[in-house]
Amino acid sequence: MRFTPLAVPLCLTAALLAARASAGPISPLLEGSFAFASANDVDHSWCLIEVDGGGFVADGEVSSVDDSLTTVTVVYTTAEPTSISRTMDKLAIKQSEFAQLSVSVGASNPLVHVPIEKCSISSSFSESKSKGSVSLHCKGDDLSGLLSTPHIASVQQAMAGLRDVTFKVTSLGTKWSLSIACAGAWQP
């Protein structure tokens, strides 16, 4: 039997793929879903870091009530991570700008559900320490273009009592910043 020049590489590739498949998982790198509540705001702030095959996500949610007992919820996520690092024990996911931000006041649909240009998320997780963190830092101009004045007041009131949340708005709503820190023990 005579082999053509293309047949030999194809046979070798098939043999390598068969050997790799029978050897089990290709990578021992850390993979899975790691959820945790903020140690400082366990009843109000939750985070998740997830690696599933080629998908990497870090997100979080903080929820509280304003003075009229209306629930205010802020959800943030890495829509397109810009930096990923992982080992067999540790994982880090970052998005340097255009993180996705969603704000809901009351039972309404999200009032803001957009990528924010000056908005970053940084996350890390250590399996051996069973601890993780996700932090959000956003700032921008003209918040009144995203939220109405009553909704801005509701968000300020609801987030004011939370240790890991800082929400600042100038009196005219022309400049704003939001920082959320979520760090705590993994809850498998």
CA distance 77 to 182: 13
Name 15's Cβ contacts closer than 8 Å, sequence gap at least 6: none
Q: Tell me what pLDDT residue 82 has.
A: 93
Amino acid found at 155: V
- 3-state SS assignment for residue 15: helix
Read off the pLDDT of each residue in 118-129 and give the average, rounded to a whole number.
95
Amino acid found at 139: K
- Given a cut of 90, is residue 57 above it in pLDDT? yes
Q: Tell me what pLDDT residue 157 has.
A: 95
